[in-house]
Structure 1
Amino acid sequence: MTNNKITFDEIFEQNKRRIHYQLHKMNIRDPHQEFFQEGLIAMWNAYEKYKPDKGPMATYFNYMIRNRLIDRMRKENRYTEVREQATQEFSTQLTDGNHRRREGEMAQPLTANSHPQLNDPTPWQHLKSHMTDKQWKWVQFHIIDNLTLPEIAQQENVSLEAVKSWGKQARKKLRTLNEQNIINQDDFF
């Protein structure tokens, strides 16, 4: 077979169903014919590079089309993952992941440096009266003073696990107090 006798148009007409077959076999939905175009390019490359002594042309077409479609799918998947990751990072930067909501109002993002203020110590004293000394230390140092857990552990000369335990118990107590309406979270912010 020589390239002069059979043109690519003739080869395409005889073999275009191979592209559709590979698309169907790989469960690729192609409403905009993007993958079909990839298959067509693969067929053109196979037509240009085909050497009759290496094997049948049909097998070579199938191989080239299938691998080109797989490459395109990988590229699309990588692009989608990067786009989703960028969207998530952008969303997190905008909202910082924290929101404050009062009843009947829209959620308002908290700023990154937003801390409870001690302008009025009355609600804090009320809260302290319901907590153990260790739970209160965790609230005081971690929430009010914004210290990290390792800093609290070092300051109090205890293990990091002990500080984590204080935090776990303090959060549990805060949830209970909030559910029982003993404290009102709006008093603290």
Structure 2
Amino acid sequence: MSKPDNLTFLQQRQQLIISAAKNCFSRSGFHGTSMADISRESGLGAGQIYRYFCSKELLVNETIKSIAVSWRVFLATNLPQQTTTKDIIDAESSFWQDWPFQDRCLLLEMYSEASRDASVREMLAHQEQLLVAELDKQFAQKSPGASPQTRTNRIQFLLMLVDGVACRAFGEKKVDQQELKRIDGILSRHLLQ
């Protein structure tokens, strides 16, 4: 096998394992999933998995990195298109359509892991820095008259809102429409211009 073919095969195999790990982690969490579970899910032997990921910790970290990068790309694509909070708050809206429910579950698991593991916190902080910089560029183009502080406020608010909705994925789905309308009005005047 040539080097490019070998690299492609390596990347495909790693993605297969990460995909299987995501399925397992979304059902049982990072700490409730064994390598045997991932082996069964992927159809690969444990020895084959260890050839690509030398430890479960490394596999967890690579899975978290995959989720965090996807989350950043999703938000960088979707947040600049929103002008109201309604689509963001409604977990069933078109805003969330391209973000699978399984990945929302994994976000919670990922944030939980970050509370225990400094390397995960650093990884997530890096992805957030990239996201904030990208959103700031997009918002500066969209609203050239907005001050840097206004853009920063908008970005931070939207990120808190999105994180809250993602964390609420298992909870109450009903939203008070009057309150939502009031919040939209405030945001339109102060943050979303």
Q: TM-score w.r.t. structure 2 length?
A: 0.24
Q: TM-score w.r.t. structure 1 length?
A: 0.25
Structure with the larger RCO, 1 or 2 (CA within 8 Å, 6+ apart): 2
Structure whose CA Rg is larger = 1
